[in-house]
Amino acid sequence: MNVEEALGKRGEKSSGFVEVGRTSVNIYRIPVVVISGAKPGKTIGFLAGTHGTEYASIEGLIRATRELDPAEMKGNVIAVTVLNGPHFEHRSAFLSPIDQLNQNRQFPGDPEGTLSRRTAYVAFKEVASRSDALVDLHGGDIGEDIDSMVIAGSGGGEEVDAMALDMARCFPTEYVSKLPETASGLSMTAQKKYGIPCVTSEAGTPYPVRERHIKFHYDGVMNILKYFGVLPGEPVLADAEISPKGYRYKAENAGIWHGFHELGSRVKKGEPVGEVTDLFGNVLESYIAPEDAKVTFLRTFYSVNQGEGLIGLTVLK
């Protein structure tokens, strides 16, 4: 599809594929939905599947693009429902099986680079450069479960950075983290490159794909469109805590991980939250909540190697 042409078709919804690169036997393409509102207004860009196994984000974006009615819209949506095709197809964890790169470290990309670099380049050229704001929807990759938060971009100047914080609060989130200005390679670097506010939402795990996580992304997408006046109605901004204190534990020993609480649970100070045992069941390391907190990240694999993530706790009021 031609994104520019699709944007010009006022009051229409178009979908199709844009080529990003070729391997010896395959052509890789990204699925793009362009919704050109009946009236002119802002253009909002959305990416999902930058990590191809973060399914709740993909489902949330597809649901939103299906429901949006161009007749009601003042402005446009450009949405890539699965940016990282190889990762999606192969269900590889974190890295593209084609060039072994993390897609969300390759922006702004390179039209002469390997597939992930080319994909990043096309995403910026076709989506970010045409948009007034960029939203990248994520979640836990294979072996991870995340519940639920948003990262607001930085480096776009005071006004744009404040808008990114507002966009983050368009998701029904309890907390928002600000991206350090030194971060590089992420889609959110569009904030600096194009001077547009950017956010990354994080919710879900590859299996099971939970309704509450799909809805988290979906609600954020729809509410952001209200925030920018693309959809009618007032946006609801979450009363989110900004960059709260958190704890993230990694395995010092290899063995078996036993988490004691469901994702999203509240734990009390001093409460055991998990342990690593050896293959005979002997406890090698134990984790205790250092403060009252919410379990916002969980390892979903049973086996664990040294240095791998186990559990994340966020201290929320």
**Residues binding Zn ion (CB under 5 A):** 51, 54, 138
Residue 3 Cβ vs Zn ion, minimum distance, rounded to whole Å: 24
Residue 138 Cβ vs Zn ion, minimum distance, rounded to whole Å: 3
Residue 62 Cβ vs Zn ion, minimum distance, rounded to whole Å: 17
Helix (H, G, I), strand (E, B) or coil at 4: helix
Nearer to Zn ion, 75 or 140 (CB): 140
Nearer to Zn ion, 54 or 219 (CB): 54
Q: What does the alpha-carbon distance between residue 132 and residue 90 come to, in Å, rounded to a whole number?
A: 33
Q: Is the peptide bond before 235 cis (omega within 30 degrees of 0)?
A: no
Q: What does the alpha-carbon distance between residue 315 and residue 29 come to, in Å, rounded to a whole number?
A: 41
- Asked whether the beta carbons of 137 and 60 are under 8 A apart, the reply is yes
Q: How far is CA 36 from CA 8, 33, 77, 227, in A?
A: 7, 10, 7, 17
Q: What does the alpha-carbon distance between residue 255 and residue 278 come to, in Å, rounded to a whole number?
A: 5
DSSP string, 179-234: PPTT--SSGGGHHHHH---EEEEEEE-SSS--HHHHHHHHHHHHHHHHHTTSSSSP
Nearer to Zn ion, 142 or 256 (CB): 142
Nearer to Zn ion, 186 or 196 (CB): 186
> How many angstroms separate the most distant Cα atoms in the chain?
66
Nearer to Zn ion, 34 or 120 (CB): 120
Chain centroid to CA 94: 13
Residue 141 Cβ vs Zn ion, minimum distance, rounded to whole Å: 6
Within 13 Å, how many C-alpha atoms sit on residue 217's CB side?
35
Residue written as tokens 């391997």? 23
Residue 81 Cβ vs Zn ion, minimum distance, rounded to whole Å: 15
Residue 53 Cβ vs Zn ion, minimum distance, rounded to whole Å: 9
Nearer to Zn ion, 31 or 49 (CB): 49
Q: Amino acid identity of 51? A: H
Residue 196 Cβ vs Zn ion, minimum distance, rounded to whole Å: 20
Nearer to Zn ion, 54 or 145 (CB): 54
Nearer to Zn ion, 48 or 98 (CB): 48
Residue 146 Cβ vs Zn ion, minimum distance, rounded to whole Å: 9
Q: What does the alpha-carbon distance between residue 170 and residue 188 come to, in Å, rounded to a whole number?
A: 17
Name the token pair of 268: 């009390």
Name the token pair of 217: 């992304």
Residue 104 Cβ vs Zn ion, minimum distance, rounded to whole Å: 6
Minimal CA–CA distance to 155: which of 92, 107, 121, 225?
A: 107
Nearer to Zn ion, 76 or 187 (CB): 187
